[in-house]
A = this chain, B = another copy of it.
Amino acid sequence: MTIRNFTEATLTAEVLRRIEATPNPRLKQVMTSMVKHLHAFVREVRPTQDEWFEGIKFLTETGHWCDDKRQEFILMSDTLGVSMLVDFINYGKEGQETESTVLGPFFVEGAPELPMGASIVKPGTVGEPCVASGCVKGADGKPIAGAVIDVWQAAGDGFYDVQTPDGPNLRARFRTGADGKYHFKCVRPASYPVPHDGPVGRMLVATGRHPMRPGHLHFMIEAPGHEKLVTHLFVRGDEYLDSDAVFGVKDSLIVDFEKTADGAYATRYDFVLKPARQSARAA
């Protein structure tokens, strides 16, 4: 059988026929959907050869910006709302459990574990002093012992440590005791732009968008028998809560950062973890 001479109308079917023998059924499902949507996009916008090559160059440049400290594709996914879509699909909102939000491109594996109550702030860091505290609980309201809390944040000038030459700062792990409680010293989160000196920044400018995120603290909390929680706490009153460049704000994650008697700030939040589930994929 001769299977050449495809047309705009028949080519997609031939590409799908070629991947029919994909051994892994999940990969086959993903590739089939991807080819259909990619081809549908191309049919819809009907790019010229030059336009398509601009797209190729844009993806190439995005890849070239990625290294061990910069993940431009995650930033692309974040700023196109895809990361939050994946978040909704996987985590959703049920009952009183703490809602999730984007991981973002600045998480670093293997942050130092500090004793409860310690400061995550290196001397000389820009920012107003702040204490964050609260409890890690299960859906039953009982405190969770042995929960590992990864926390990370930008300094008061809006930069994460990995964006500076100054070495590790403003990130740590804490482990809860029998009371499930946590507290640590940080800086009051400030709004800041996502890195916008690369392709994602050009995309934001070209589409009339700003690169700002409302101030927030990042948390990743893991505990045996519970689902991993990736979330933020946002600063109530921040001017960018309604236009977060990565679509990450949820009302339930906005908290007060109140000035205390000693001139520092303090915030309190109790995290409620979901019980572990069999499959990570929603129906």
Contact = CB atoms under 8 A, between A and B. Distances in A.
B59 A33 contact: no
From DSSP, what is the main secondary structure of chain A's interface residues? Answer: helix
Contacts of A243: 18
Interface string A80-115: 111111111110000000000001000000000000
Interface stretch (A5-13, A156-164, A169-177): A5-13
B19 A207 contact: yes
Interface in A216-247: 230, 241-243, 247
Interface residues of A, number: 82
Given A15-B81, A41-B33, A242-B4, A49 B247 contact: no
A280 interface: yes
Interface in A7-55: 7-8, 11-12, 14-15, 18-24, 27-31, 33-35, 37-52
21 contacts: A1-B242, A4-B242, A8-B88, A8-B89, A11-B85, A15-B247, A18-B207, A18-B243, A21-B208, A22-B206, A24-B206, A27-B207, A33-B45, A38-B80, A38-B82, A43-B85, A43-B89, A47-B86, A48-B281, A49-B87, A56-B77
Interface of A: 1-8, 11-12, 14-15, 18-24, 27-31, 33-35, 37-52, 56, 59-64, 66, 71, 73-74, 77, 80-90, 103, 206-209, 230, 241-243, 247, 249-251, 280-282
